[in-house]
Amino acid sequence: MITSLTNDQLRRLLGICRSAGSFQVRLLDKLLNEKISSSEIDELCELISNEFMLNGVQKSFEPNDYGRELERLLDAVNRGRLH
Distance CA 59, CA 64 (A): 10
Kindly report the pTM of this predicted structure: 0.88
Return the H-helix or E-strand segment holding 75.
helix 65-79
pLDDT in tens, 40-75: 999 999 999 999 999 999 999 999 999 999 999 999
| First-to-last C-alpha distance (Å) of the chain | 7
Distance CA 21, CA 69 (A): 22
